[in-house]
Amino acid sequence: MTTQLRNVLKLSPVVLAATFFTANSAMAAEVNEQVTSVSVLTSQSDNIGQVTSVSQFSDVQPTDWAFQALQSLVERYGCIAGYPNGTYRGNRALTRYEFAAGLNACLDRVNELIATATADLVRKEDLATLQRLQEEFSAELATLRGRVDALEARTAELEANQFSTTTKLVGEAIFNISDIFGSDNRAVPSGVNPATAQDLNSNTIFADRVRLNLLSSFFGSDQLQIRLQSRNITPYGTNVTGTNMTRLGFDGNESNDNLLEKLNYAFKLGDALSVKIDATGGLLYENINTFTPEFNSSGRGAISRYGRFSPIYRVGEGGAGATLVVNPKGPITVSAAYLADRANNPNDGSGFLNGGYAALGQISFQPSQAFNIGLTYARTYQNIGNVANNSINLFGSTGSQYANNPFGGAALTADHYGVEATLRLGPKVTLGGWYGYSEAEAKSGPREGNNAYFEYWAANVAFKDFGRQGSVLGFVFGQPPKTTGNEFVQANGIRRQDRDTSYHLEALYRLQLTDNIAVTPGVLVIFNPEHNDRNDTVYVGTLRTTFTF
């Protein structure tokens, strides 16, 4: 034990109290130096008040480890101050104002005791020891004073130049190089002669996507999100390859026009309920668990549209509505959501309740950190004008043309059933997958009453920290949405039903160069595109570089 520590232990409670206040002031400075984004608003009525008995503190119990020390300081020296509401708040950090108030109360009491010559309580030896300690630690006190002054200067500069007191900016930029190869012709649906197919144009492209998220919090447990987006990545869809099965997970081309892509507000009601209100751009796969933690993100996950998650989470894509998640931290989580695709349109067949919509419910069961399984059901209604190109799109541009538009443009209702799961085989290996089944019924025109049936599935595996900390090696294999049965027969005699089976194979490696830069080379292979074995296999190669800031 050092001489300085031995001397401190010999001090009376008054000296220890002063030392305690000094130590807590230093810790408070350290805490305040680290906290940069969270503001704690303290009522102006929280003025510190003197107490005469430790029993006046409602939040101090005899079982507390510091009870005896507080009792001595309060009842022997009258040297502890509390709050007007009768609390001491012993677990919260000490501010400099509170330190000054507490130290002043102790000094006033010491001066009073000295003035009344109460030598039994305050000894000259204590004052001499305190003076000697002050001299011995003068260098440390000077250093601490310099750090506090520097912190005050930095805080003043941040307050003068900060973007906002409630909002932070989170950005992402993608540079992408990609190409398609393996076939000379575009894919055609089942029953169509490939000889009638158009030529497939395969030129290497270099394109980008930029997203700026403005995230605001007003109470600490809420968030207002405004997302701006611009991009010029041409989708490898039906107009390019003849099938949406080759689409990338981050594509879209608005000629780099800057658009308001998302606007929502999320908040919590207690610990058991989370609520999210989407004013526009609602995406269920960003609101509830999709059971694909390593593949979900468009900028850092799977390279393909289908490989990110089950198509059941694409229902209502881009709409307005609300999502509720009950017990989000428990083993059983219940989610419910409703999105309307044209909630702002007052015309017939539109609006929040009278137009196209998607209603989804999900129950997930996670008995351990290693295993999680979910059961999902969605009910959807689509009519002409549901999406930007005024066409029916049942599976969010994944799967075949017959699957996305089974009745040739007729309005439809559909019931979707899905099961999803993820299994961790240790800290660095994760298995996952999904299976989905849907039934649809035509609701307009001469096709009204016709029924169609669909299936899809996929399995994936991810190896975390593969080769480098933060990097991921991933594989996805499955069958995109397929029309397994359809009562509707077109005028040319072709039934809109997929006769063969397509297979989706995807491999990617996300190389985490720094905390903010990731490079992802990947390849996507579609066997028997459009569920038509007369189509050639199509390959998509891509190199995605993602910057986050």
Q: What integer pLDDT is reported at residue 445 of this predicted model?
A: 82
Token look-up 């996300």 returns 510
Block mean pLDDT (10 aa), the chain, length 549: 40 41 37 32 44 78 82 76 78 79 77 65 75 84 88 83 84 98 92 82 93 95 96 95 97 95 96 96 97 97 98 96 92 97 88 93 96 98 62 94 94 97 96 98 91 98 96 98 96 92 98 97 98 96 97
The set of residues, in sequence order, having a beta carbon less than 8 Å from that of 286 and lying 6+ positions away, is none
Supply the DSSP symbol for 77.
Answer: I
Q: How far apart are CA 400 and CA 405, in angstroms?
A: 9
Q: What integer pLDDT is reported at residue 21 of this predicted model?
A: 40
Q: Which of 301, 243, 311, 310 has the alpha carbon at shortest distance from 475?
A: 301
With 0-12 / 13-18 / 19 or more C-beta atoms within 10 angstroms meaning exposed / middle / buried, residue 387 is middle
- What are the structure tokens assigned to 38, written together? 């969270």
- Residue 471 CA neighbour count, 13 Å, CB half: 15
One-character DSSP codes across 222-280: -EEEEEEEEEEE---STTTTSSGGG-BTT-EESTT--EEEEEEEEEEETTTEEEEEEEE
Q: What integer pLDDT is reported at residue 255 of this predicted model?
A: 95
Q: Which of 186, 176, 173 has the alpha carbon at shortest distance from 521?
A: 176
Give the number of other Cβ atoms within 10 Å of residue 109's Cβ: 20
Using DSSP's 3-state secondary structure scheme, residue 454 falls into strand
Q: How far apart are CA 61 and CA 87, in angstroms?
A: 11
Using DSSP's 3-state secondary structure scheme, residue 42 falls into coil
Tell me whether strands 223-233 and 259-269 are parallel, antiparallel or unpaired: antiparallel
The set of residues, in sequence order, having a beta carbon less than 8 Å from that of 200 and lying 6+ positions away, is 180, 183, 184, 185, 186, 240, 241, 242
Q: What integer pLDDT is reported at residue 158 of this predicted model?
A: 77
Q: How far apart are CA 507 and CA 470, in angstroms?
A: 17
Q: What integer pLDDT is reported at residue 542 of this predicted model?
A: 98
Q: Which of 449, 375, 372, 379 has the alpha carbon at shortest distance from 410?
A: 449
Which H or E run contains 269? strand 259-269
Q: What integer pLDDT is reported at residue 315 of this predicted model?
A: 96
Token look-up 């359809």 returns 486
Q: 232 and 208 in contact (C-beta within 8 Å)?
A: yes
Give the number of other Cβ atoms within 10 Å of residue 240's Cβ: 16
Using DSSP's 3-state secondary structure scheme, residue 325 falls into strand
Q: Phi and psi dihedrals of 155, rounded to 5?
A: -65, -40
- What are the structure tokens assigned to 200, written together? 């497939």
Q: How far apart are CA 87 and CA 130, in angstroms?
A: 30
Q: How far apart are CA 244 and CA 395, in angstroms?
A: 10
Q: 213 and 169 in contact (C-beta within 8 Å)?
A: yes
